[in-house]
Structure 1
Amino acid sequence: MKRPRTVSARLSEIWESFWLVPAVFAVGAVLAAVGLAALELQLDLTFGGILPSGPAGARSLLSSIITAMISFTALVFSITVVALQLASSQYSPRVLRTFLQDRTIQATLGIFVATFLFAMVVLAALPAEDGERFPELSLAVSMLLVLASSGTFIYYLHHITTVMRVSHIIAAIGAQTRRSIQHLPPADEPQATVTGVITQTVPAPAPGMVSHVDLRLLARLAREHDCALTVAPAPGDFVVTGAPLVRVHRVAGSEPHPVPDDRAGEGVTIGVERTPGQDVAFGFRQLADIAERALSPSLNDVTTAIRAVQELHELLRRLATRPDPVHLVRDDDGLVRVEVRGVPYDTLLAMVVDDIRLLADQQPRIVRLLDAIVDDLATVAIPAHRAAISRRLASSS
């Protein structure tokens, strides 16, 4: 697998990672514990017998907090992982990413870890003898963190049981896909294409899924070498080692300089799985998987399939009014330097209408819903998409 090597790609990967929020909580807990220990040297606080009166009692309390939080965290998240595995096996393995990016789940783990680490640092700072200054404020904060963890756990149970419902999973995927659609080029942007002669083809350095294309990096590279660049696969496509990844085109009136393969390859991130963002079709794939699995004989959950198809209808309607996505980077004079094409609308229709119809031949409700969707799309689609829609209308009649 090729890891992202540009700064923006690395930052994006870190921001979407599961460990970022828990790590921030953990580092904050350690810094807060050390800071409070230093602050208490300047303060004279007393809590009137509410807290343990000596190092022995405080040590016993903190040891209990540490032991309980370790066991508590392991139990809660081991059960959660099992539940998520069951959910992914029932709906689609690709929906597991939605749970891993859930900030509430991440923050819950962060609070549990922060409570454990804070208590451990306070325990290490306890005086060995009764006569020395006692960290009462730090001990009070430890107890407040335990209360916060208890409250968070109650909310976490409510949250996890809510987001694991299939309607919420479908709605979350739909919302994520709509955000990806909003980042597509404007529908009224002038369409163009790179037509210069291909002078060089950069091969893919490794197999995997195209997860991100750094348009700015490729545009800068194209200007440096006086050429135009097109990315052969669309975001979300699988490439094999040695397959065309980036093509170098001659620009009118100039002779392009050879583009280093490694530098061109830096602009295309290849991973082991598809990711949302530039890959609009990823949301369609997830929703189609949910519908197809719900229609399988082992589940036979027509209601879930209908809900997934309804969400797909809304997304298809949004894209029916705009041309196939083409990401372009132009110079100030309008010269196209980079071209990246997205998944065509016809492919999305095949994923939703054709594939699901094959599995729904014994489900009249699904068949009628698909026919109604195609009829509705025909009323709003731009001319570029009407041929693909007409083929579905003809096949359903």
Structure 2
Amino acid sequence: MEALTLDSLHFVFSRIKERLWVKPLVLCVLSIGGTFIARLADDTGLSSVLPRVTLKSVESLLSIMASSMLVIATFAVGSMVAAYTSASTRATPRSIPLVIADDVTQNALSAFIGAFIFSIVSLITIQNHLFDSAGRFAIFALTLLVFAIVIITFVRWVDRIARLGRVVNTIQQVEKAAHGALDRRRHAPTLGALTVSLNQPENKGIPVCASTVGYVQHIDLEKLQTCAKELNCHVKVMALPGTFVTAHRPLLRIEEPTGQWETLIKPEVFSSAFKISSNRSFEDDPRFGLLALSEIADKALSPGINDPGTAINVIGTLVRLFTLWQSPLEQDQMLPITYDRVSVPELTTQDMFDDAFTAIARDGAGIVEVSIRLQKAFFALAETGNQSLVAAAKKHSRMALARSEYAMSLQDDIDAVRKTAEFSATRS
């Protein structure tokens, strides 16, 4: 079995955090452990010092907790399922992993289930006389502590569940995920590897293709670097995270191998550095966050929902993200090149603009307020002075204006959008 690199372990840990059952399982184990740790209090000789707690009072508290926590946990699961359904239907199904990974919700469900398990196990041990007076006092103190934790968690959870799955909250969660991915890529445009030369022929080198069909979620560059050193070659990555790959699309190309490279290492070792799944993930794929926001706005513009305000909200969010993307960095803030045998292409601003604005401009072309806000957004991004951002903003401004002129029937609306676009063009 191959050893996992630190990069792979970080990716695996991030995926585990998205699983809904992990934190409840941990809390259940801690709850059971806490009950038996309380048994050690009987061996400390503190029975004569600690206050005496009657068996009936401890049983009553544990019984109340056992009966109430199961109901609350069931209610919590039902509320969470309703929130997930709302996020899927009102926003976009792509946001579900972010909604599920919400820390407050996971902590609440874990606390309720953990308290239920603790009360059941403690009640059984108490009724079977496994504790003396010190142990009973320890269980009584633990029960009060668990009650306090549950109450505080419930109060926080009530505030969160009222907003969980709502469109505005989902937009904020997607923006947070996209912001993190963009900021990491901004500090490491090539993920700590060399930049692919634009003049390099695409067919140069030995191609290595995927064995499965799906989206690239993560690339273990540390593993590619190690393999390239062993083979004394250079690796050119062809598929960034978010790329849809098949058995005929190269993940990478091995350049300048030495001797009989097939006998030294198999191409499958290189391809195993690529984590491929049926779905895209937000962490290493900044374009996926932009696409998810675009889908939320696009769904809001559908006739069945007819919510231009949400689309306008998303446009403002996209402007914030692109403003972050073009913000300059000092040289010492950039991630140093640590993988000198691997080349990785940079993200292009034009592709990111296509992901973010094309659907909104297409389906919002007939809505005057959305079209005007789009033109203002392009103007704001063109004012940044970043050349790639200015070029992409001008191109999409022209395309959005053409769509609006084609979709709108009222000349006054067309004139309003055209006026905004012309003002933006003259100012930029």
Give the TM interval when normalised to the shorter protein.
0.7 to 0.9
- 1:299 offset after TM fit, Å? 0.7
**Of 267, 276, 281, which residue of structure 1 is paired with 2:287?**
281
Q: What's 1:192 paired with?
A: 195
1:36 matches 2:42: no
- 1:8 offset after TM fit, Å? 3.8
The question of whether the paired residues in 2 share the 8 Å contact of 1:198 and 1:250 is answered with no
Q: Which secondary structure does the structure 1 equivalent of 2:162 belong to?
A: helix
Greater fraction of residues in helix = 2
Greater shift after overlay, 277-286 or 183-192? 183-192
Greater shift after overlay, 183-192 or 156-165? 183-192
CA distance in 2, matches of 1:363, 1:373: 15
Q: What's 1:13 paired with?
A: 15
Letter in 1 for 2:72: F
CA 292–327 in structure 1, closer or farther in 2 if over 3 Å, else same: farther
1:249 matches 2:255: yes
- 1:16 offset after TM fit, Å? 4.2
Q: What's 1:340 paired with?
A: 344
- 1:71 offset after TM fit, Å? 2.7
Unpaired stretches in structure 1, ≥5 consecutive residues: none
Q: Deviations over 1:122-167 (max 9, x none)?
A: 2232254699656232134224423432332222111221344433
Q: How does 1:350-389 map to 2 (within 5 A)?
A: 350-389=354-393
The question of whether the paired residues in 1 share the 8 Å contact of 2:65 and 2:116 is answered with yes
CA 130–287 in structure 1, closer or farther in 2 if over 3 Å, else same: closer
Q: Which secondary structure does the structure 2 equivalent of 1:380 belong to?
A: coil
Q: Deviations over 1:225-284 (max 9, x none)?
A: 111112222211222244322221127xx6683442331122111123221222001110
Q: What's 1:90 paired with?
A: 90
Greater shift after overlay, 283-292 or 31-40? 31-40
The question of whether the paired residues in 2 share the 8 Å contact of 1:170 and 1:308 is answered with yes
CA distance in 2, matches of 1:16, 1:291: 25
The count of corresponding residues between Structure 1 and Structure 2 is 382
The question of whether the paired residues in 1 share the 8 Å contact of 2:79 and 2:161 is answered with no
1:213 matches 2:219: yes
1:173 matches 2:179: no
Please, what is the CA RMSD of the aligned residues?
Answer: 3.2
CA 164–67 in structure 1, closer or farther in 2 if over 3 Å, else same: same
> Percent sequence identity over matched residues?
22
The question of whether the paired residues in 1 share the 8 Å contact of 2:194 and 2:343 is answered with no
Q: Which secondary structure does the structure 2 equivalent of 1:176 belong to?
A: helix
CA distance in 1, matches of 2:147, 2:327: 53
Q: How does 1:1-397 map to 2 (within 5 A)?
A: 6-42=8-44, 43-44=46-47, 47=51, 53-54=54-55, 58-59=58-59, 61-126=61-126, 128=128, 135-186=136-187, 192-193=195-196, 195=200, 198-250=204-256, 257-258=261-262, 259-320=265-326, 329=337, 336-395=340-399, 396=401
CA distance in 2, matches of 1:389, 1:229: 34
Unpaired stretches in structure 2, ≥5 consecutive residues: 402-417, 419-428
Q: Deviations over 1:171-210 (max 9, x none)?
A: 2322222221221254899973254873322221212221
Letter in 1 for 2:195: A
Q: What's 2:425 paired with?
A: none
CA 365–130 in structure 1, closer or farther in 2 if over 3 Å, else same: closer
- 1:311 offset after TM fit, Å? 0.2
The question of whether the paired residues in 2 share the 8 Å contact of 1:62 and 1:119 is answered with yes
CA distance in 1, matches of 2:136, 2:103: 33
Greater shift after overlay, 35-44 or 274-283? 35-44
The question of whether the paired residues in 1 share the 8 Å contact of 2:17 and 2:101 is answered with no
The question of whether the paired residues in 1 share the 8 Å contact of 2:220 and 2:273 is answered with yes
CA 58–73 in structure 1, closer or farther in 2 if over 3 Å, else same: same
TM-score normalized by the length of structure 1? 0.84
The question of whether the paired residues in 1 share the 8 Å contact of 2:183 and 2:325 is answered with no
CA 354–139 in structure 1, closer or farther in 2 if over 3 Å, else same: same
CA distance in 1, matches of 2:148, 2:127: 25
- 1:108 offset after TM fit, Å? 0.9
CA distance in 1, matches of 2:383, 2:128: 80
Letter in 2 for 1:344: T
The question of whether the paired residues in 2 share the 8 Å contact of 1:225 and 1:256 is answered with no
Letter in 2 for 1:139: F
Q: Deviations over 1:267-321 (max 9, x none)?
A: 1111232212220011101110111011110111111111011101111233346
The question of whether the paired residues in 1 share the 8 Å contact of 2:164 and 2:170 is answered with yes
